[in-house]
A and B are shown apart, each in its own frame.
Chain A
Amino acid sequence: MKALAARLRERRWVWSFAGALVVWLITVISAGGRGAGATLTAGLGFAAFYVMAGMGQMLVVAAGPGNIDLSIPAVMTLAGYLAIGAMHGDPSMLWLGIVVVLAVGGSVGLINVGLIKIARVPPMVATLSAGFIMQSITIAYSKTTTAKPPGILMQFAVGRTMGIPWIAIVLIVAAAILGLVMSRSVFGRDLLAVGQSERAAYLAGIPTRRITTIVYVASSLLAAVTGLLLAAYSGGAALDMSSDFLLMSIAVVVIGGTSITGGRVSAAGIWGGSLFLYLMSTMLNVLGLGAGVRYGLTGVIIIAVLALSEDHAPI
């Protein structure tokens, strides 16, 4: 029993899956047993987008106290608009869309790092301000374009095999790879070391600045790709398509068992957290409760997870 408790403490992501299971069951029961499979596969599809953005957020959060990326939603919309606009519905221009996505993600990531490491702006303020600037650019650009995504991209974004969305399959594989990178690769270890103690990591010979740069750039890149796929999924970019992602990217990471003070991550937990939050909103819809309850509950859960988790900054 004690051993089980210890294992659960170590594998906190289990809780997020358990939570997802519970809300799914409640949904199915209150819908009279109908649509159980459809709810789940739809959940996989939507949750995949949260997972993609959440993976970037997890990398940033892993880098230690204070590190957080609030520019994710703005990067998503900007990359979505610019890439879709660049391709203009032409499948042969797919390469250009990808280049635009990489350029947007890479440059925003570098801007964030520059603000944080060179101008010494707190990460929250740096990424939030950078986000607002990009949001304005997006708004200005959105008035000039109404392009549709190329068909091939849309087919990929909505495609399914045996009812399971392709995107979900890709992201299950991606999360598995990320889990491996975090636990077994030199980079992953270095990042977790920096997150636990930047000073100790520096003295152990770890290139701390390079690690920080990589995680912010990776976060922006993942956000940019998420933006493109989300735009393709919904048949075009929209200004409000990423409004949920500021909260969600953080919530899925925290609920999934990643320590908000850094140094401990769970890639599997991102899936658990994403499924839980998506299925919870489905459940609330079925129960006839609106967005207010969803936001409120999410906030309560985040704070409860913080209060219950044992790791807080050393005294």
Chain B
Amino acid sequence: MLRLSARIAPALRGAGLPFLPVLALTIMVIGMGIMQPRATSYIGLQLILRFVPPMIFAALAQLCVITASDIDFGIGPFISLVNCIAATLLSSHPALCFLLLAAGVAAYGAMGAFIQIRRLPSIVVTLGASFIWLGLALLIMPTPAGSAPDWLVALAHWRAPYLPLPILVGVLAAIFSQWFFRMSSYGVVLRGLGSAPPFLRDAGWSLVVARSALYALAGLFGVISGLMLTALISSGDANVGTPYTLLSVAAVIVGGSSFTGGVISPIGAVVGAFIMLLTGVLLSFTPISSDWQLSVQGLLLLLVLGLRALSRRHA
């Protein structure tokens, strides 16, 4: 199996198709089917995977930033902020709500430009920003409250034909992001930013525009993730997004992307989001307490990174 993957993986790498993550996901699904046969039915999947869509878009937001060889430490609190805004305003003042969310996307774009122009480490800027997001979320909603409009809730529980909704969302997100980053002509420029910025500038491209575009897109995906989360929990909570910071990094990296070089796999990030969620699900089938969930997910990330470092050393 390893020998086969060693031969197939590089061949798929050029196209950004993740072989090992898909294999891992397949094994997990089979494992789940054996442990809980009912979980793999349409209804079972719709229920078990319902928290996958927000995770997918959190992962895609992180993917944008990682494309630029940066890391976004603030995506979790940003999702919380979106959740609080939506839970407060979406029912009563939808226009104002979307205006605020658009301002959030613009703020993300400005953050990218700021990091490029001042050549600052992304970690600290996004960390500083994370406290602004958290602060704003707490201002809007000091304690969990609010609700989601009915149409949003209905959307989140829609029974799609053939495929359970979470899987359908995954497939669509994977197709779009794969197309944008790996196939569109500007996606090449964005990956070039993570690969070799000086060469990109020499070829006449604006690095500020490119980084700013990546961050704005991250903001947009963050907004989508927050809205989906709001639909599922049907309330607002300033701390609900916190775990998404680590989970989004883990999903992207487990999905086969690298921290540097603009080497990314959008499909992998989507697959990674499924893997992260199923890790929690599988854990819940065992006697292990759910307190260990984030810990196991973090360990998985470290394991993948450690193995990757090992294989690089032997290559």
Contacts and interface: CB of A to CB of B under 8 A. Distances in A.
A298 B135 CA distance: 9
B139 A129 contact: no
Interface in A267-315: 290-300, 302-303, 306-307, 312-313, 315
Greatest chain B CB density within 10 A among A68, A140, A296 is at: A296
**CB-based closest 8 A-B pairs:** A296-B135, A292-B138, A299-B131, A295-B135, A136-B295, A292-B139, A302-B128, A299-B132
A41 interface: no
B129 A299 contact: yes
Interface of A: 65-66, 68, 115, 118-122, 124-126, 128-130, 132-133, 135-137, 139-140, 247, 250, 254, 260-261, 290-300, 302-303, 306-307, 312-313, 315
A132 B250 CA distance: 12
B302 A295 contact: no
A290 B138 contact: yes
Contacts of B121: 65-66, 260-261, 313
B136 interface: yes
Contact of B301 (A118, A124, A129): A129
Given A296-B131, A303-B125, A303-B128, 13 more contacts: A66-B121, A115-B302, A119-B306, A119-B309, A120-B309, A125-B305, A250-B127, A292-B135, A295-B135, A296-B136, A299-B129, A302-B127, A313-B121
Nearest to A124: B123
Contact of A306 (B125, B134, B259): B125
A37 B295 CA distance: 44
B135 A293 contact: yes
Nearest to A142: B291
Nearest to B301: A129
Interface of B: 71, 73, 114, 118-121, 123-125, 127-140, 142, 238, 245-246, 249, 253, 259, 289, 291-292, 294-299, 301-302, 305-306, 309
Contacts of A291: 135, 138, 142
Contacts of A303: 125, 128-129, 132
Q: A interface, by DSSP: helix, strand, loop or mixed? A: helix
Contacts of B296: 136
Contacts of B302: 115, 119, 121, 126, 129-130
Contact of A66 (B123, B125, B142): B123
B299 A302 contact: no
Contacts of B128: 299-300, 302-303, 306
A121 B260 CA distance: 11
Contacts of A260: 120-121, 124
A312 to B, nearest CB: 4
A179 B133 CA distance: 34
Contacts of A118: 309
